Amino acid sequence: MAEHFDFIVIGGGSAGYAAARTARETRERVAIVDGGSTLGGLCILRGCMPSKTLIYSAEILHLARLADRFGLNIPVAKADMPRLHERKLRTIAEFAEYRQEQLASERFSLFRNRARFTGERELTLDDGTVLTADAFLVATGSVVACPPVPGLKESSPWTSDDVLDLDRLPESVIVLGGGVVACELAQFLHRIGSRVTQIQRSPHILKEQSPEAAAVVEEVFRGEGIELITGTQLRQVERTNKGFRVSFEHDGKLMVREAAHLLNALGRQPATDGLGLETAGVTLRKSGHIQTNEFQQSTNSAVYAAGDVAGPHEIVHVAIMQGELAARHATGRPAQPVDYDALVSIVFTDPQIAHAGIPEAELKKRGIAYVSADYPFDDHGKSILMEAKHGFVKVLAEKGTGRLLGAECVGKDASELIHSLAVGIALKASAADLLKTHWYHPTLSEIWTYPLEDVLEEL
Ligand X SMILES: Cc1cc2nc3c(=O)[nH]c(=O)nc-3n(C[C@H](O)[C@H](O)[C@H](O)COP(=O)(O)OP(=O)(O)OC[C@H]3O[C@@H](n4cnc5c(N)ncnc54)[C@H](O)[C@@H]3O)c2cc1C
Ligand Y SMILES: NC(=O)c1ccc[n+]([C@@H]2O[C@H](COP(=O)([O-])OP(=O)(O)OC[C@H]3O[C@@H](n4cnc5c(N)ncnc54)[C@H](O)[C@@H]3O)[C@@H](O)[C@H]2O)c1
**What are the residue numbers of the active site?**
441
CA angle centred on 412, ends 227 and 217, rounded to 5°: 25
- Segment interacting with ligand Y, rule: CB under 6 A, options 5-13, 194-202, 277-285, 426-434: 194-202
| Range 353-373 burial, b when 16+ CB lie within 10 A, else e | bbbbbbbbeebeeeeeebbbb
| Interface pick for ligand Y out of 115, 149, 309, 335 (rule CB under 6 A) | 149
Question: Nearest distance from residue 130's CB to ligand Y, in Å?
Answer: 34
Nearer to ligand X, 213 or 452 (CB): 213
The residue type at 384: I
Q: Which does 202 bind (CB under 5 to 8 A by kind): ligand Y, ligand X, none?
A: ligand Y
Q: Does 281 bind ligand X (CB under 6 A)?
A: no
Tell how many helices (H) and how many strands (E) occur in the chain.
13, 21
Q: Where are the alpha helices (DSSP H) in 193-252?
A: 211-224
Rounded to an integer, what distance in angstroms lies between the CA atom of residue 350 and that of residue 415?
10
Q: Does 347 bind ligand Y (CB under 6 A)?
A: yes
- Segment interacting with ligand X, rule: CB under 6 A, options 83-91, 98-106, 137-145, 359-367: 137-145
Nearer to ligand X, 181 or 410 (CB): 181
Q: Does 177 bind ligand X (CB under 6 A)?
A: no
Q: Where are the alpha helices (DSSP H) in 367-413?
A: 381-385
- Segment interacting with ligand X, rule: CB under 6 A, options 34-42, 73-81, 214-222, 352-360: 34-42
Q: Does 47 bind ligand X (CB under 6 A)?
A: yes
Question: Nearest distance from residue 182's CB to ligand X, in Å?
Answer: 10
Question: Nearest distance from residue 277's CB to ligand X, in Å?
Answer: 10
| Interface pick for ligand Y out of 267, 281, 288, 376 (rule CB under 6 A) | 267
Q: Does 58 bind ligand X (CB under 6 A)?
A: no
Residue ranges of the binding site for NAD(+):
177-184, 267
Secondary element (H or E) of residue 261? strand 261-264
Q: Does 114 bind ligand X (CB under 6 A)?
A: yes
Question: Nearest distance from residue 63's CB to ligand X, in Å?
Answer: 21
Rounded to an integer, what distance in angstroms lies between the CA atom of residue 384 and that of residue 29?
57
- Segment interacting with ligand X, rule: CB under 6 A, options 215-223, 306-314, 396-404, 442-450: 306-314
Q: Does 311 bind ligand X (CB under 6 A)?
A: no
- Segment interacting with ligand Y, rule: CB under 6 A, options 235-243, 276-284, 329-337, 345-353: 345-353
Residue ranges of the binding site:
52, 140-142, 177-184, 267, 308
Residue ranges of the binding site for FAD:
52, 140-142, 308
Rounded to an integer, what distance in angstroms lies between the CA atom of residue 440 and that of residue 191?
33
> Cis omega before residue 442 (within 30°)?
yes
Rounded to an integer, what distance in angstroms lies between the CA atom of residue 283 and that of residue 359?
29
| Interface pick for ligand Y out of 315, 319, 388, 434 (rule CB under 6 A) | 315
CB 424 within 8 A of CB 434: yes
SS3 49: helix
The neighbouring-strand residues paired with 261 are 173
Q: How many residues interact with ligand Y (rule CB under 6 A)? A: 22
Rounded to an integer, what distance in angstroms lies between the CA atom of residue 30 and that of residue 107?
8
Rg, Å, the chain Cα set: 24
C-alpha distance from residue 375 to each of 144, 178, 206, 450 (Å)? 38, 26, 21, 7
Q: Does 200 bind ligand Y (CB under 6 A)?
A: yes
What's CA 37's distance to the chain center, in Å? 22
Question: Nearest distance from residue 330's CB to ligand X, in Å?
Answer: 16
CB 452 within 8 A of CB 430: no
Q: Does 181 bind ligand X (CB under 6 A)?
A: yes
Q: Strands 142-144 and 130-138: what pairing?
A: unpaired
Q: Which residue is nearest to ligand Y (CB)?
A: 179
Q: Does 23 bind ligand X (CB under 6 A)?
A: no
Q: What is the dihedral of CA 288, 290, 291, 292, to 10 degrees?
A: -150
Question: Which residues contribute to the site for ligand X (CB under 6 A)?
Answer: 10-16, 33-36, 41-43, 47-48, 51-52, 114-115, 139-141, 160, 181, 271, 274-275, 307-308, 314-316, 319, 348
Binding site for ligand Y (CB under 6 A): 147, 149, 177-182, 184, 200-202, 234, 265-268, 314-315, 346-348
